[in-house]
Amino acid sequence: MVIAITERKNSDDKIPPDAFIMFTIADIVTDFFKNRERIIVYICDTSDARHLARSHKFGLWFEKFKTTQFMKVDAFIIDEMGVIYINTLILHRENPYFVEIIDAFRKVTGGYTEDK
């Protein structure tokens, strides 16, 4: 599953925020997790330097709809140019591989921040 939220490149042509996007995303995620073994991993796009704002927005949405069913884990990778890549894992707390998935996510994202 891929969800892409795009913005217009011309700042004079801004589209006002759609109040229903948050509810649509929440419904999609809830439906997606009907199978508790599924996970979501997303990386906020850095191409326009708005990745921190995107991460903040998604974080607010997650908190607004937060239930005890899901867990969100964030990890940050900083490249040699100082660009921060925000990686997020969301999984169902009743996923039978819960611990293993979180461990693997931390190993993968943590491996990029270790000195080589």
Return d(Cα 104, Cα 113) in angstroms, integer. Answer: 15
Which stretch of DSSP H or E encloses residue 92?
strand 84-92
Model confidence at 116, pLDDT cuts 50, 70, 90, reads very low
Model confidence at 44, pLDDT cuts 50, 70, 90, reads confident
Return d(Cα 4, Cα 11) in angstroms, integer. Answer: 19
Q: Is 62 helix (H, G, I), strand (E, B) or coil?
A: helix
Q: How far is CA 41 from CA 1, 29, 71, in A?
A: 10, 12, 12
State yes or no: pLDDT of 96 exceeds 90: yes
Model confidence at 14, pLDDT cuts 50, 70, 90, reads low
pTM: 0.73
Mean residue pLDDT across the chain: 81
Burial of 41 (0-12, 13-18, 19+ CB in 10 A): middle
Model confidence at 73, pLDDT cuts 50, 70, 90, reads very high
Both tokens of 83, joined, read 């660009």
Amino acid at the residue 83? V
